[in-house]
Structure 1
Amino acid sequence: MSPSPRPAVDQLSGLAIKKERYLLDDLLGSGSYGAVYKALDLLSNKERPKLYAVKCQVKADANSRRAMYQQREANLHGLVSIHPSIVTLRETFETENYLCLVMDLCDGHDLFAAIESKAFVGRTELIQDGYSQILDAVHFCHKNGIYHRDLKPENILVSLDLRRLYLSDFGLATRDVESKTTGCGSGYYMSPECLGSKAFRLRSFPNGPTDVWALGVVLIAMVSGRLPWLRAELADRNFEAYITNPFYFVEVLPITAAVNVLLRRIFRTRPEKRIPIPDLRQGIMNLDTFYVEGEEVGESYLEVVGEDGEADLSDGFVHAPMSPAMIGSGTSEEEEEVITPETRPALLQDSVPDVQLDGGNAAWSDPLNAVNDAFIGIGSPCLPEVVAGDAIAAVLEQEVRRMFVGVGAEKAKERRVGESHRGCEPTVRKVAGTRAGKVAGEGVPWR
C-alpha cells in the first residue's frame, strides 16, 4: 500500500502537530516552500488560551543546500530572538514532512500594510519611535555577528496601535562579515554593491553596511509612503539623479535639509563610508520634524503600490511596487571588470560635504543655487518603462558551492554560467501567493 500524499503546505489548517500540541488554524501567509499559521497551544489554559504563529516549511532533503538554509534560519533567529524588537522564536521541531518554527504572534500586520495606508506619513514622533526600534533590533543582530540581508517592510511586523515593531524572517541571514555573492535580498532595498552592476561591483563587500542601505529605503517608505528608486543602479534615472544631485531628496519629497543630510550619509555608494547605526539612531531622534512646514506628500511623488506588480508611468513618475525577495548568483568576473575600492572612481555623491547640504528648514528654496554648477538638477526625474518583479535565481548558489564543492569548481561553474547568460534578456516572473513567511495576527485592516 502506497503512502498517503503529503498535504500542500498551505492546506494544513485544522491539523494538530507535535503530538497534537499545536492546532493550526488560520493561514496567515504562504510561499513556495512554507506557510505561516495562527496556532492554538492545546496545553494552555482553556480560559486563557495561548496563540502562536507557526511557520511550516516543507522539509528539505537531508544534506541539501535548502536544508542547510532552513537550519541556519532557525539557529540565527534563535540567537537574537531575546531582543524585545525581534519576533521571539519559542521552539523548532520536525514532523515527517515539515520543519516548524513556533513564534510569538503579533496582534497587527506587517509594515508593508502600514506603509500602503500611509499610517506613518506626517507623524514624526511615531516614525522616530518605530524606526528606532528597528535600528535597535538590527544593531543587536550586528553586535552578535548576524546580518539580516533582507530588510524590508514585509519582514517587519507592527502592532495594531503602531507602537511596537518587530524584526522577523531570518531566511537570508548570515554570520559572514563579508559577501562575494551579489543579488541576495529584495531588489528595491539592495545596495549598489549587492546588486553588482559594473560601476559598483566589488570582489567582496561588508554585509553590515548593506543592511544600513536597506534601512534607509525603509525609512523613506515610512516617511513618505514612496520608494526612492527601483534599483540602485546608474541605469535607473532616479538613482542617477540622486548620484548627481545632492538635493535630489528635497526636490522630490517634502523633507527638511537635516533629513537630507541623514539620507545621504545612509546612501553612500562606498559601503565603508555609510553611517553607523548608533549615529543614525541619534540623528533620527534629534530631528524636530521630518517635514517642511506646509508641504504634503502629494500624489506626484514616487508611489508604492501593491504586490500585483503594476507600474504606472502616465504621470512621468514610477509607481514602484515593493518586491518579493529575490536571490541571484550574480555575474561572473569574466563578464564584468571587478572594481576594488582603490580603483573605483570617486562619485559626486561621495564627495559632497554634509555641511553643504544642511540648510536648516529652507529645503525648498531653490537649493541648486547653493552648489557648484557641476551638479545636475533634476526636478522631476522620469524613469523608462519598468517591469515589476525580479528574476528569481538559485538560492545563494555561489555560497553553497564554496562550502561543499570548493573554490576551483566554483570558478569553473561561474565561467559556464557567465557564458550561458551573455546576451540574455532579464526574466520577469510574477510571484504567486501572499507574502511568504510573515508572522501576523488578526486585527482591523489598515485601510
Structure 2
Amino acid sequence: MSAALKRDYQICDCEEIGRGRFGTVFKCVSRSTGDSFAVKSIDKSLTAGASLDAQCLLTEPKALALVSPHPHLVQLRATYEDDSHLHIVTDLCPNSDLHALILANGGAFPERDARSIFAQLMTAVSHCHRKGVIHRDVKPDNVLFDSWNSVRLADFGSAAVVAGAEAAAGVVGTPYYVAPEVLSGWEYGEKVDVWSCGVVLYIMLAGFPPFYGETAVEIFDAVLRANLRFPTRVFGSVSPAAKDLLRRMLCKDVYRRFSAEQVLSGIHG
C-alpha cells in the first residue's frame, strides 16, 4: 500500500465498506485531523487487457475532481498511487444507501419522501452534466446518505468525461438501470443518466423496476422495448405529475427525453 497514504491516513482494514470489480472500499482516518473518510483501493492488474475498464480506472479521479465540491456528491479528498493500486480518498457516508433503504421500507415510498430524495439526486446529476461528466451507473446502491441524511451520489468508476458535443460509447452500467441507447452499440450522451434516474424514481414509487427480466438478456430486451406501464394497484395513489415526469424520463426517443435541468424544472415547477 502507498507509503504516502499510510503516512496521511490510518487504514481501518477491519471496516470494509464496499467491494467492486476492481477494488475494495475501507474506512480511513486522517492522522492530522482525526476525521473519518473512505478510501477506495483499485487493483490496477485487474484492468489489464480491458481497454474500457482501464480508461474508467483513470477517469474516476478526474471525474471526481471536476465535480467536487458539491453538497450532493461524494467529494474527492486525495489520490495516491503505487505500483499495484490506485487509492482514492473520498467523503465517508456512514448512513445507509438508497438500495438498503428501499429494502428496509419493504416496497414503495410515499410520493413526498421519494420526491425529497429524488430532487437531491437530480441536483447532483445536473451539476455533473454541467461539468461535462456522465455518471453512467446511477442506481440506488450509489445513492448514499451522509451524517445529516443528505443524498450523496457516489462511485464514479464508470463515469465518462466529455467536452461540448462529444459523446460517450461502450456498454457500461447495471442491467435494470441502463438506457436503451447504451445497449444499441451507438454513441450516446448525458441523457443516459436521466433514464437511470427515472428507473430509480419508478422503483422508489413502485417497489419494483419498470423493465424486468429473470436474466440480464431478458432485462436488456425489456429495456429496449421500453414498454412503460403504471399498474393501478401501485400507481393509483401516485400523482399524474409524477407519472408524466416518468414518461418524459423513461422515453426511448433521446431527443424527446428530458434533460437533467428539465427534470429539475418539472420537480420544482
Shorter-chain TM band: 0.7 to 0.9
Runs of 4+ in 1 over 6 A off after TM superposition: 61-64, 231-234
Q: Is the CA contact 2:65–2:76 (under 8 Å) kept in the aligned structure 1? A: yes
Tell me, in whole angstroms, the C-alpha distance in 1 between the residues paired with 2:46 and 2:105.
Answer: 43
1:278 positional shift:
2.3
**Cα RMSD (Å):** 2.9
What do residues 150-179 of structure 1 show as CA deviations (whole Å, max 9, x unaligned)?
111111102466x41001111111123323
Partner residue of 1:175 out of 151, 161, 180: 161
SS of residue in 2 equivalent to 1:272 = coil
Partner of 2:19: 30
Partner of 1:283: 266
Q: Is the CA contact 2:211–2:219 (under 8 Å) kept in the aligned structure 1? A: no
Q: Is the CA contact 1:109–1:158 (under 8 Å) kept in the aligned structure 2? A: yes
Query: Matched residues, percent identical?
Result: 30
Q: Is the CA contact 2:199–2:210 (under 8 Å) kept in the aligned structure 1? A: yes
> Within the alignment, does 1:41 sit opposite 2:24 as a pair?
no
1:129 positional shift:
2.0
Gaps spanning 5+ residues in structure 1: where? Answer: 1-11, 287-447
SS of residue in 2 equivalent to 1:249 = coil
Query: What amino acid maps onto 1:211 in structure 2?
Result: D
1:240 positional shift:
5.3
> Within the alignment, does 1:57 sit opposite 2:42 as a pair?
yes
1:148 positional shift:
0.8
Tell me, in whole angstroms, the C-alpha distance in 2 between the residues paired with 1:80 and 1:51.
Answer: 21
Partner of 1:342: none
- Relative distance call for 1:164 and 1:19 in structure 2 (3 A) is closer
SS of residue in 2 equivalent to 1:280 = helix
1:194 positional shift:
1.4
Query: What amino acid maps onto 1:222 in structure 2?
Result: M
Q: Is the CA contact 1:18–1:95 (under 8 Å) kept in the aligned structure 2? A: no
> Within the alignment, does 1:271 sit opposite 2:254 as a pair?
yes
Tell me, in whole angstroms, the C-alpha distance in 1 between the residues paired with 2:243 and 2:64.
Answer: 33
- Relative distance call for 1:169 and 1:69 in structure 2 (3 A) is same
Whichever of the two has the greater Rg, that structure is: 1
Partner of 2:77: 90
What do residues 421-446 of structure 1 show as CA deviations (whole Å, max 9, x unaligned)?
xxxxxxxxxxxxxxxxxxxxxxxxxx
TM-score w.r.t. structure 2 length?
0.83
Tell me, in whole angstroms, the C-alpha distance in 2 between the residues paired with 1:16 and 1:225.
Answer: 46
Q: Is the CA contact 2:139–2:200 (under 8 Å) kept in the aligned structure 1? A: yes
Q: Is the CA contact 1:16–1:22 (under 8 Å) kept in the aligned structure 2? A: no
1:90 positional shift:
0.5
Query: What amino acid maps onto 1:274 in structure 2?
Result: R
Partner of 2:234: 253
- Relative distance call for 1:234 and 1:93 in structure 2 (3 A) is closer
Q: Is the CA contact 2:176–2:219 (under 8 Å) kept in the aligned structure 1? A: no
1:264 positional shift:
0.9
- Which has the larger strand fraction? 2
Tell me, in whole angstroms, the C-alpha distance in 2 between the residues paired with 1:122 and 1:261.
Answer: 18
Map 1:221-260 to 2 at 5 A: 221-230=203-212, 235-236=221-222, 242=227, 248-251=229-232, 253-254=234-235, 255-260=238-243
- Relative distance call for 1:194 and 1:51 in structure 2 (3 A) is same
1:121 positional shift:
3.7
- Which has the larger helix fraction? 2
Q: Is the CA contact 2:211–2:226 (under 8 Å) kept in the aligned structure 1? A: no
- Count of matched residue pairs: 256
